[in-house]
Amino acid sequence: MKDYTSGGFTLPGEAGYEKLTLEMAKKWGADVIRDSDGTKLSPEITEAGYRIYSTICIIREHNEFARSHPDAQQQTFLFSEPRTAEGDRLEILPLEGYFEEQFQLNDSPEAMAYWQVWDRTAGRLLSPDEWEYAEGRVTVRGCIPYHRYSVSFLAWRIWEEINMYNHTTNNWQSEHLRQLDPRHPEAWTYLKDWLRNWCRNNPDTNVVRLTSLFYNFVWIFGSDLRRRTRFVDWASYDFTVSPAALKAFEQEYGYALTAEDFIHQGKLQATHRPPTARKRDYMDFIQRFVAEKARTLVEIIHSFGKEAYVFYDDSWVGMEPYGKYFVSIGFDGLIKCVFSGFECRLCAGAEVPVHELRFHPYLFPVGLGGLPTFSEGGHPEKDAWAYWLHVRRALARQCVDRIGLGGYLHLTIGQDAFNDAVEKMAKAFRHLKDLQSRCAPAELPLTVSVLHTWGALRSWTLSGHFHETDWNPLIHVNEALSGLPVRVKFIHFEDVRNGALRDTDVLINAGRAGDAWSGGDAWKSPETVSEVTRFVAEGGCLIGIGEPSAAEGGDSYFALAHVLGVDRDDGSFACHMPWEFTEEDSAPFFTDGESIGKTEGIRLTDPETRVLRACGGTPVLTLHDFGKGKAVYMGGFTYSPAAARMLLEMLLYLTGTDGKAAGHTDQPLAECAWYPAERTLVVMNNSDRPLEVNVSLPSETVRTNPGAGEMCFVQI
Amino acid sequence: MKDYTSGGFTLPGEAGYEKLTLEMAKKWGADVIRDSDGTKLSPEITEAGYRIYSTICIIREHNEFARSHPDAQQQTFLFSEPRTAEGDRLEILPLEGYFEEQFQLNDSPEAMAYWQVWDRTAGRLLSPDEWEYAEGRVTVRGCIPYHRYSVSFLAWRIWEEINMYNHTTNNWQSEHLRQLDPRHPEAWTYLKDWLRNWCRNNPDTNVVRLTSLFYNFVWIFGSDLRRRTRFVDWASYDFTVSPAALKAFEQEYGYALTAEDFIHQGKLQATHRPPTARKRDYMDFIQRFVAEKARTLVEIIHSFGKEAYVFYDDSWVGMEPYGKYFVSIGFDGLIKCVFSGFECRLCAGAEVPVHELRFHPYLFPVGLGGLPTFSEGGHPEKDAWAYWLHVRRALARQCVDRIGLGGYLHLTIGQDAFNDAVEKMAKAFRHLKDLQSRCAPAELPLTVSVLHTWGALRSWTLSGHFHETDWNPLIHVNEALSGLPVRVKFIHFEDVRNGALRDTDVLINAGRAGDAWSGGDAWKSPETVSEVTRFVAEGGCLIGIGEPSAAEGGDSYFALAHVLGVDRDDGSFACHMPWEFTEEDSAPFFTDGESIGKTEGIRLTDPETRVLRACGGTPVLTLHDFGKGKAVYMGGFTYSPAAARMLLEMLLYLTGTDGKAAGHTDQPLAECAWYPAERTLVVMNNSDRPLEVNVSLPSETVRTNPGAGEMCFVQI
């Protein structure tokens, strides 16, 4: 039996702690040592026989160039808070309320051409002769009293947002880092030269680890500490904008984008909302630009005999791993930091040679949400283990090539429990990787299609980490699915109309009315609705969660109410009495009450709809036969191991599938992966106590006894 | 001191209980004896010197005529539950699911002209050649598979709804009563003759008490007992419809109404929803018709030297007491049954000579919601007292002329506690009436305008009784206002644009997004929004409750978010961080946490908005200065004596008014009315324990000691 003690592990080295670095490399079985942003490895480390990753943030740390070329900096559209006119004249300071260290007005003539002033009360765009600008101030004349006016404008972003965040959070005193826009011709020439130089000067580096590309996710700070972050969206494109980009877009697409396409009444266009057709065009435009520029960088790195890995965060915008152009960039590896199972699947499924996970917690004194992870009172081993329970079940389905850590290695000193935990996880990871190198885990003959606005582009993810999006039921669904033995596809509405349901067994739609995950206006399409109706009528299954298929203007609130057997009364059905119902004593599959949420106003549309669970008189889990198919409705869904089990049992019940084909445990809090060709069973105890777990396999039953939280590998 | 032992009281007499009738008439001080629906008084009663009311339901109890003139019966539009086509042909039984004893298809040629078939999936009206009808069955050809189809059709209503309800609830076995449509010329002639005959044959009757006019509120029964009532709306007009009415409408208005104007995708048009412009036209058309016909009846009654009172319930549709045509009918009295204070004000404020209240509970064995009021285990005196606590505070503001009871008098036998309670209430009523005959209660110089879609037409009421509409915050507001010493107006959006805010001190808008009370699309009018904005900016006050001024399509969810200082995030503001806030330790006015509800998603739009109360991180009571005015937001509002006090204190605080002018108690659970010209103070203890109540008056403070629940009259 192998001991899986080394390989596939990236250690963050630390200059000044050379001995520790090499010791920990040995303990954790590292084959790679990396630096971190802003640190440098010493020769004792780089020459110790390990492969070396070096971190580069390509658009940052060029302050001198930025100072001499201020027009090479990045920009964004912003809007002023609408102000009420009391007379016919109003003065507006556009940047009022924004963090003055992040933004600076772009009042150059080419930028001013994109500025707009809106009467937000009337929804009217003012003509340019109704307002004037001078010295940071917009004056609106001829106002209608008591209407509200707002200015949309371009601003320079003069502080790179990740640096700004670290600075303001940790009270750093160093110089603010600026960022360059690769669309600026001189900046682009400069950056390419800079990268060539860097590669030349860093001969020890095997892998250039890009953190990441050009455009940060949108993060807008306010001047008031009571709303320091005004807007943050991990997948919005506002920070890619510039007059040059807008002009290039107009030339290519034959129509011009305006400030309002971005500002959208001050709501901006968050990833959680369905995009306009114009935003879709713009995203594709940016994705091609980013891919083209990234390809050039990768070619430079390759020309020096180095590999190029990209870290999928920070300035990642436009390089979606499931986007149309990602493969064309030619990255050698994709690195994803993970808290959750869905992030493992997101990384593992991308088309790139090497998939690497960065585990949490980072080796930082203070962790997520200000917790004292590696400070006094912290328990980094508990945090690590909690994340591991999410991660390992996804790895058991689809493993990655490498794992690793980040941060300051010296923080591990004296943290024996954490160090041992990491060692244990690394071994388990290697075991799974080894198994999967020879044999795929058994999968049920069952394809789940998750339907939302973005489809494959946002496979597995919504917008950022779990805890950043956890008010959406879909992220909980994705997390549950990440460890289930089923095929998972992410499809959008055009996919549905193009026949994507033909190889779908269960369709899931989970979201809130009007959001990108439920679908919003997409459900106004009769073709989409009738295709899903056909799918279920002919024997397919549907799971709707929250406010699935909710759309304005139809004769029901859920466009699929007739299939689901439930609808929501948003007030439109005032005076219509609901069907009375009786909650069933027991459901035909395992259910977990704590994982099921409630949506107010749910009522039956068919007296035959079975109410498996209700809460305060409102159905929260229902089952409805429709034609030859079935539909489940859940008011909400919160991930937990029991929730994942409920989802699995629901899928088995709906499709009439026998779970044994992929191994089926008799304990809701235990799950397994079965590697038939290797005759190896991996049993995961997701509870905090030892369990006796009997696993049904296609031709036998295996009894195992995993300890609390343990993952055991059983050779049969 | 007067003893207020008699007058202004209507007693339900009962044949067979003549002695009891006269005894109770004495005990309660009755001056009028009435019969009830379906009962007759005996000569011992009618000749005992009391005035006599006789009950008539004019359109009911003419079964013989209905049988010989089936086309004189009333009708309605109905719709079939949409059915999914699996192939290109679909058969629909339009009446399936409806109560077959209430409805019968009207498939006469003139009715069929109004039938429609809809593809509800595509929202498309089928042309008449796409479907055919034969023998109760619609066949749709050329269906698009998996689209849903529904038939809208006319149906005869063959069972008068009040009779149907009593029948089905109490298992009556008598013949089903039918109802005639006065629009049918022969029926109308017949009804007039019948009334003349009736008047001739009932010389003892002084007052003909009409229950009520022609068209019942909408009450649609289903065939399945799990949804016996499918739809019930106390103020909808669907039951007034007929081909004749539709043709008359078309002739007058120059455009035709269609089935869809009533069916509205199967949602119908409930009073709680904003009406279409066509519905408004139709309502006015019906109101004029009802008034014209009612005037004829009243003239007949007058011609026999009798008076005509109308009971405002059942077949009341089209005779709104605050409608444009009510006064023209010439009623001598309006009778309103009451549970609540707002109903007293509704009655007391109508322009009609006599205002009479029917108190609850009725003398029925089983009361509201199946409670055993006058049966074993019942406590009618407790019920009566609970309603009285609501009613008396409204009477103290604006008294009526008469009160009374209804039902079977013999049920009072042995109910001494109830009988004494009624005696006490009757005396208190007479005392208030006497006071107000000589002096108006002092009112604060403060006008509250309640703003909603219906304005004055639905003054005080929403649609039916309190318990039928209690999910609406507005009914709680109206109930609270009914006993406060302020002027109250009900205005609609056109009133606002026409200057109604000029004599308004505090504007209230309370409702849910899209409903008639919040206003829905009415808030898309920039004129309305800027007029309210002006009003507050110049010193007016605004109270918004629930989802005030909510409208689709604006840059905020509440059109008045800038005035209120709060808005609701319905998901449109995803990724926008809310303002952090600190809940204040104490509010600048009395607040009652239990009366304040929560609306999810409320966030501050201005960091200066003061959060007086929050619940689970969501502001539920806020205060915002806007210009020279102020705005309060409440997430919800539930009536209680403490809630009414909170509202009063809020009004005083917002407007800077001194409550002493109308008398102000030092106890939240006590309120008062001050009759300055009579120097009489009425103090109401709304709690269940004795209170020491100090009342501040303009020039003195009076100490009183009302017992639990007591109302005391203090001469100063």
Chain A residues with CB-CB distance to B227 below 8 A: 577-580, 607
- Cβ burial of B39 (10 Å; 0-12, 13-18, 19+) is middle
Question: Topology of A1-55+342-438 in CATH?
Answer: TIM Barrel (3.20.20)
Helices B416-438 & B380-397 angle (0-180, nearest 10): 0
pLDDT at position B37 is 65
Q: Using pLDDT thresholds of 50, 70 and 90, give the confidence band for residue A371.
A: confident
What CATH architecture does domain B61-181+205-331 belong to? Answer: Sandwich (2.60)
pLDDT at position A597 is 98
- Cβ burial of B67 (10 Å; 0-12, 13-18, 19+) is exposed
List of E strands, A94-206: 103-105, 116-119, 124-125, 131-134, 137-141, 148-157
Q: What percent of chain A has pLDDT over 90?
A: 94
B230/A463 touch (CB, cutoff 8 Å), yes or no:
no
Rounded mean pLDDT of B65-93?
97
Rounded mean pLDDT of A378-395?
96
Rounded mean pLDDT of B381-402?
97
B533/A273 touch (CB, cutoff 8 Å), yes or no:
no
Q: Is B427 at the interface with chain A, CB within 8 A? A: no
Q: How far is A295 from chain B (nearest CA, A)?
A: 31
Q: What is the 3-state secondary structure (H, E, C) of B184-230?
A: CHHHHHHHHHHHHHHHHHCCCCCEEEECCCCECCEEEEECCHHHCEE
| Torsion of Cα atoms, B525 then B530 then B532 then B533, to 10° | 140
Identify the residue whose tokens are 């992040």. A102
pLDDT in tens, A437-496: 999 999 999 999 999 999 999 999 999 999 999 999 999 999 999 999 999 999 999 999
Say whether B660-715 and B61-181+205-331 share the same fold: yes
pLDDT in tens, A407-420: 999 999 999 999 99
Give catalytic status of residue B314 as yes or no.
yes
Which helix (H) or strand (E) element contains residue B611? strand B610-615
One-letter identity of residue B39: T
One-letter identity of residue A188: W
SS3 of A312, please?
A: coil
CATH number of the structural domain A660-715: 2.60.40.1180
pLDDT at position B674 is 98
- Rounded-to-integer distance, Cα B675 and Cα B696, Å: 13
Q: What distances in angstroms separate CA B278 from CA A315, A454, A574, B153, B319, one per listed residue?
A: 55, 40, 20, 19, 19
One-letter identity of residue B692: E
Q: What distances in angstroms separate CA A286 from CA A157, A305, A320, A455, one per listed residue?
A: 18, 29, 11, 18
Assess contact for B474 and B511: CB atoms under 8 A.
Answer: yes
Question: Which own/partner contact pairs does A578-581 have at CB distance under 8 Å and 24+ positions apart?
Answer: A578/A603, A578/A604, A578/B227, A579/A603, A579/A604, A579/A605, A579/A606, A579/A607, A579/A609, A579/B224, A579/B226, A579/B227, A580/B226, A580/B227, A581/A607, A581/A609, A581/A611, A581/A614, A581/A619, A581/B226
- pLDDT at position A540 over 90: yes
Q: Using pLDDT thresholds of 50, 70 and 90, give the confidence band for residue A166.
A: confident
Residue B399: closest CA among B423, B426, B380: B426
pLDDT in tens, A582-618: 999 999 999 999 999 999 999 999 999 999 999 999 9
pLDDT at position B371 is 79
Q: What percent of chain A has pLDDT over 70?
A: 99
A82/B122 touch (CB, cutoff 8 Å), yes or no:
no
Question: Topology of A66-162+220-266 in CATH?
Answer: Immunoglobulin-like (2.60.40)
- Rounded-to-integer distance, Cα A340 and Cα B123, Å: 43
Q: How far is CA A288 from the centre of its chain?
A: 20
Order of strands, sheet of A711-715, starting from the edge strand that comes earlier in the sequence: A670-675, A680-685, A711-715
Chain B residues with CB-CB distance to A553 below 8 A: 123
What count of other Cβ atoms lies within 10 Å of the Cβ of residue A599?
Answer: 23
pLDDT in tens, A85-120: 999 999 999 999 999 999 999 999 999 999 999 999
pLDDT at position B372 is 84
Q: Using pLDDT thresholds of 50, 70 and 90, give the confidence band for residue B366.
A: confident
Q: Using pLDDT thresholds of 50, 70 and 90, give the confidence band for residue B337.
A: very high
Domain segments of chain A as ranges: 1-55+342-438, 66-162+220-266, 447-655, 660-715
Residue B371: closest CA among B467, B451, B265: B467
User: A-B interface: how many C-beta pairs under 8 angstroms?
Assistant: 169
pLDDT at position B198 is 97
> Chain B: residue nearest A469 by CA?
B575
Q: Is B56 at the interface with chain A, CB within 8 A? A: no
Q: Using pLDDT thresholds of 50, 70 and 90, give the confidence band for residue B370.
A: confident
**What token pair was written down for B302?**
């007058």
**What token pair was written down for A166?**
């670290």
- pLDDT at position A176 over 90: yes
Which helix (H) or strand (E) element contains residue A402? strand A402-404
Q: Using pLDDT thresholds of 50, 70 and 90, give the confidence band for residue A2.
A: confident
- pLDDT at position A1 over 60: no
pLDDT at position B278 is 98
Model pTM score = 0.97
Chain B residues with CB-CB distance to A265 below 8 A: 554-555
* ipTM reported for the complex surpasses 0.85: yes
pLDDT at position B38 is 64
Q: How far is B232 from chain A (nearest CA, A)?
A: 5
pLDDT at position A117 is 98
- Rounded-to-integer distance, Cα A345 and Cα A479, Å: 9
pLDDT at position B172 is 86
SS3 of B355, please?
A: strand
pLDDT at position B394 is 98
List Cβ neighbours of B109 (8 Å cut-off, separation of 6 or more): none
Rounded mean pLDDT of B673-701?
97
pLDDT at position B229 is 96
- Report chain B's C-alpha Rg in angstroms: 27
Q: Using pLDDT thresholds of 50, 70 and 90, give the confidence band for residue A38.
A: low
Q: Using pLDDT thresholds of 50, 70 and 90, give the confidence band for residue B436.
A: very high
pLDDT at position A394 is 98
Examine residue B361 and say whether the peptide bond preceding it is cis (omega within 30 degrees of 0).
yes
- Rounded-to-integer distance, Cα B599 and Cα B207, Å: 49
Total count of residues recorded for chain B = 716
A576/B231 touch (CB, cutoff 8 Å), yes or no:
yes
Residues 571-610 of chain B whose Cβ lies under 8 A from any Cβ of chain A: 571-581, 607
- pLDDT at position B472 over 90: yes
pLDDT at position B680 is 97
Selected residue of B80, B88, B121, B146 to mutate for chain A interface (largest A Cβ count, 10 A)? B146
Residue B90: closest CA among B53, B116, B59, B117: B117
- Cβ burial of A354 (10 Å; 0-12, 13-18, 19+) is middle
Q: How many CA atoms lie within 13 A of B446 on its CB side?
A: 26
pLDDT at position A256 is 98
Active site (catalytic) residues of A:
314
B579/A226 touch (CB, cutoff 8 Å), yes or no:
yes
Rounded mean pLDDT of A334-352?
98
Total count of residues recorded for chain A = 716
Q: Using pLDDT thresholds of 50, 70 and 90, give the confidence band for residue B711.
A: very high
Q: Using pLDDT thresholds of 50, 70 and 90, give the confidence band for residue A171.
A: confident
Q: Is A148 at the interface with chain B, CB within 8 A? A: yes
What CATH architecture does domain A447-655 belong to? Answer: 3-Layer(aba) Sandwich (3.40)
Which helix (H) or strand (E) element contains residue A561? helix A561-564
Instruction: Tell me A576's DSSP state.
Output: B
- pLDDT at position B1 over 60: no
Mean pLDDT of chain B: 96
Instruction: Tell me A86's DSSP state.
Output: S
Residue A474: closest CA among A522, A540, A544: A544
Q: What percent of chain B has pLDDT over 70?
A: 99
Q: Are strands B566-568 and B602-604 parallel, antiparallel or unpaired?
A: antiparallel
> Chain B: residue nearest A523 by CA?
B121
Residue A653: closest CA among A627, A634, A633, A630: A630
Q: Using pLDDT thresholds of 50, 70 and 90, give the confidence band for residue B2.
A: confident
pLDDT at position A61 is 87
Rounded mean pLDDT of B151-164?
97
pLDDT at position A37 is 65
The Cα angle at residue B230 between residues B228 and B234, in degrees rounded to 5: 110
Q: How far is A563 from chain B (nearest CA, A)?
A: 10
**What token pair was written down for B457?**
């037409």
Which helix (H) or strand (E) element contains residue A642? helix A641-655
